């Protein structure tokens, strides 16, 4: 299973690099967009400071990166409804459209490749991925801040 995870991680990295190259963003830009998209999907949009922590870059680097992503139309800055002093990063409609345009064919391939699997297998796979994600998060927490 560990070998399968490494292969999936390597393939995912290659897809991310291809997205970056095709859409004139850097690998770090893509990583940032991915972090923002994942956090937003979980209902917990990130601040620039939270994104900086997740990416392990300097304050100056994250400011520059976020500014570029806002100027290019991939990200939006929005006031946090609970605390207007906080600014959250969100995917823009343009950014989501670019992501959908690129990743929809991948989603179709994934759907086709899993079409013959029983629902119970998919539920079990979800539990495995959830457990592996939790294990990675625990490991990162044990490593401490960068």
pLDDT for the residue numbered 1: 82
pLDDT for the residue numbered 82: 87
Helix, strand, coil content of the chain in percent (nearest 5): 70, 10, 20
Residue 138 lies in a domain: no
Phi, psi of 25 (to 5 degrees): -125, 160
Instruction: Give yes or no for a contact between 102 and 23, defined as CB atoms under 8 angstroms apart.
Output: yes
Residue 125 lies in a domain: no
Residue 38 lies in a domain: yes
The model's pTM: 0.85
Q: Confidence class of residue 84 from pLDDT cuts 50, 70 and 90? A: confident
Nearest C-alpha neighbor of 31 from the set 7, 49, 57, 5? 57
Residue 132 lies in a domain: no
Q: Does residue 126 register a pLDDT over 90? A: yes
Instruction: Give yes or no for a contact between 64 and 27, defined as CB atoms under 8 angstroms apart.
Output: no
Residue 20 lies in a domain: yes
Average pLDDT on 92-109 reads: 95
Range of the domain at 84: 14-93
Nearest C-alpha neighbor of 48 from the set 73, 28, 77? 77
**What percent of the chain lies above the pLDDT cut of 90?**
87
Task: Supply the mean pLDDT for the chain.
Answer: 93
Residue 103 lies in a domain: no
Number of domains into which the chain is organized: 1
pLDDT for the residue numbered 51: 97
Residue 127 lies in a domain: no
Residues with Cβ within 8 Å of residue 55, at least 6 apart in sequence: 28, 31, 32, 35, 62
Average pLDDT on 79-106 reads: 93
Longest alpha-carbon distance in the chain = 50
Domain of residue 54, CATH code: 1.10.10.10
Residue 8 lies in a domain: no
Q: Does residue 112 register a pLDDT over 80? A: yes
């Amino acid at each position: 299973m560990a070998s399968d995870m490494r292969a999936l991680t390597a393939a995912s990295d290659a897809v991310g690099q291809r997205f970056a190259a095709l859409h004139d963003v850097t690998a770090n830009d893509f990583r940032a967009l991915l972090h923002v998209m994942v956090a937003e999907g979980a209902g917990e949009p990130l601040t620039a400071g939270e994104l900086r922590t997740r990416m392990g870059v300097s304050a100056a680097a994250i400011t520059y990166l976020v500014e570029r992503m806002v100027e290019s139309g991939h990200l939006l800055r929005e006031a946090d409804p609970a605390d207007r002093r906080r600014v959250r990063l969100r995917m823009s409609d343009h950014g989501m459209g670019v992501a959908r345009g690129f990743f929809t064919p991948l989603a179709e391939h994934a759907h086709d490749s899993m079409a013959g699997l029983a629902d119970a297998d998919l539920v079990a796979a979800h539990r495995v991925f959830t457990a592996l994600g939790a294990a990675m998060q625990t490991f990162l927490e044990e490593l401490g801040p960068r």
